[in-house]
């Protein structure tokens, strides 16, 4: 009997010691260890390496030689493909981001209604986004916008003779923009969550003041939603700069490099030509471009994003 009591008390002190150990800072670091390891081994380490490689001619096949800024000077001074891919990418970002934002906001607004079967509509409209950036959609797109695809069939109703949209340099990029706008689901969900947080009183008050729907949209919805718009804008820009799969599959960068996105160029340099040093330099330029675009948008946002907390105090 006594023995068990002693055993129990030993157990207790053991446990207490264990608890004490868990209380120490080590516990926290043990819990976040997986991420820390990943951060150093898979993010920070590789970033340092890629910075170093961008100043070398490393090719995966042999030893690297230090070339200082030669990769960068070649990119900026004598690389026509780089110039083309930058043009295409900037054009794509400037068109697809606003188009996608507008379409997802439009659908979020018409889906933000308290009527029967609204979740059925939401589900239906989310389906294109579920089919995802996958290969399957690229195959579908190739077909829809092909010479015999249903877009042309639809146009023939109006007596318009369609073209092969994907193999025409003037329209190929447009098909990719429409593809990204068609998959507005996740952006729309974020807008929907934002719309739900706008207090109904604001609408009531403004309609008492005689504001119509359009006026309400510009005076209430847009300002209240502006932080969410900024969030989606930044996310959209970051994603569009890196667009790869649909360009790779639908158009393969063609015709005549009219959809040759930056990420495609980077991929070819790194994994088709194994010019890792050059590709690393390209990757850093992309990173800096994205950082600039993000910073510019953040600083511009001061002029159009409305934060309720600043005036009404934090909840």
Contacting other proteins within 121-140 (CB under 8 A): 121-128, 130-137, 139-140
Q: Is residue 161 a contact residue for other proteins (CB under 8 A)?
A: no
Task: Supply the minimum distance, in Å, between the C-beta of residue 79 and other proteins.
Answer: 17
| Number of amino acids touching other proteins (CB under 8 A) | 90
- Distance (Å, rounded) from C-alpha 92 to C-alpha 175? 11
Q: Is residue 242 a contact residue for other proteins (CB under 8 A)?
A: yes
- Distance (Å, rounded) from C-alpha 285 to C-alpha 89? 13
Q: Which one of 69-77, 82-90, 164-172, 234-242 is the stretch in contact with other proteins (CB under 8 A)?
A: 234-242
Structure tokens at 249: 């599959």
Q: Is residue 287 a contact residue for other proteins (CB under 8 A)?
A: yes
Q: Is residue 7 a contact residue for other proteins (CB under 8 A)?
A: no
Structure tokens at 96: 């697809």
Judged by CB under 8 A, the chain residues 54 through 93 that form the site for other proteins are: 58, 60
Closer to other proteins by Cβ: residue 28 or 98:
28
Candidate residues 171, 244, 254, 255; the one interacting with other proteins per rule CB under 8 A: 244
Asked if residues 244 and 263 have their Cβ atoms less than 8 Å apart, the reply is: yes
Task: Supply the minimum distance, in Å, between the C-beta of residue 47 and other proteins.
Answer: 6
Closer to other proteins by Cβ: residue 87 or 284:
284
Task: Supply the minimum distance, in Å, between the C-beta of residue 269 and other proteins.
Answer: 9
Task: Supply the minimum distance, in Å, between the C-beta of residue 281 and other proteins.
Answer: 10
Q: Which one of 147-155, 163-171, 205-213, 218-226 is the stretch in contact with other proteins (CB under 8 A)?
A: 147-155
Closer to other proteins by Cβ: residue 126 or 217:
126
Task: Supply the minimum distance, in Å, between the C-beta of residue 213 and other proteins.
Answer: 12
Q: Is residue 252 a contact residue for other proteins (CB under 8 A)?
A: no
Task: Supply the minimum distance, in Å, between the C-beta of residue 3 and other proteins.
Answer: 22
Structure tokens at 311: 């005036």
Judged by CB under 8 A, the chain residues 190 through 209 that form the site for other proteins are: 190, 192-193, 196
CA of 263: how far to CAs of 59, 244, 250, 299, in Å?
19, 6, 14, 26
Q: Which one of 144-152, 207-215, 217-225, 298-306 is the stretch in contact with other proteins (CB under 8 A)?
A: 144-152
Q: Is residue 102 a contact residue for other proteins (CB under 8 A)?
A: no
Judged by CB under 8 A, the chain residues 34 through 53 that form the site for other proteins are: 34-39, 41-43, 45-47, 49-50, 53
Structure tokens at 298: 């953040």
């Amino acid at each position: 009997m006594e023995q068990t009591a002693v055993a129990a008390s030993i157990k207790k002190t053991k446990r207490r010691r264990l608890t004490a150990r868990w209380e120490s800072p080590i516990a926290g670091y043990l819990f976040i260890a997986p991420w820390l390891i990943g951060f150093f081994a898979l993010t920070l380490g590789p970033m340092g390496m890629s910075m170093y490689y961008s100043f070398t001619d490393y090719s995966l096949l042999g030893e690297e030689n230090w070339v200082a800024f030669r990769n960068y000077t070649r990119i900026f001074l004598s690389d026509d493909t780089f110039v083309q891919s930058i043009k295409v990418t900037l054009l794509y970002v400037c068109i697809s981001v606003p188009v996608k934002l507008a379409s997802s906001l439009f659908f979020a607004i018409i889906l933000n209604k308290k009527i029967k079967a609204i979740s059925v509509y939401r589900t239906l409209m989310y389906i294109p986004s579920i089919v995802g950036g996958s290969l399957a959609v690229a195959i579908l797109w190739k077909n829809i916008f092909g010479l015999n695809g249903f877009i042309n069939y639809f146009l023939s109703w109006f007596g318009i003779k369609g073209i092969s949209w994907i193999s025409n340099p003037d329209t190929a990029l447009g098909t990719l923009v429409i593809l990204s706008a068609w998959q507005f689901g996740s952006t729309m969900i974020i807008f929907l969550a934002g719309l739900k947080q706008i207090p109904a009183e604001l609408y009531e008050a403004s309609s008492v003041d005689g504001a119509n729907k359009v006026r309400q949209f510009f005076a209430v919805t847009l300002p209240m939603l502006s932080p969410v718009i900024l969030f989606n804008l930044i996310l959209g820009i970051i994603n569009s700069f890196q667009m790869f799969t649909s360009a790779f599959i639908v158009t393969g960068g063609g015709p005549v490099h009219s959809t040759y996105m930056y990420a495609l160029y980077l991929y070819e340099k790194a994994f088709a030509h194994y010019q890792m040093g050059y590709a690393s330099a390209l990757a850093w330029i992309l990173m800096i471009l994205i950082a600039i675009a993000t910073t510019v948008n953040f600083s511009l946002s001061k002029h159009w994003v409305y934060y309720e907390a600043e005036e009404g105090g934090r909840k």
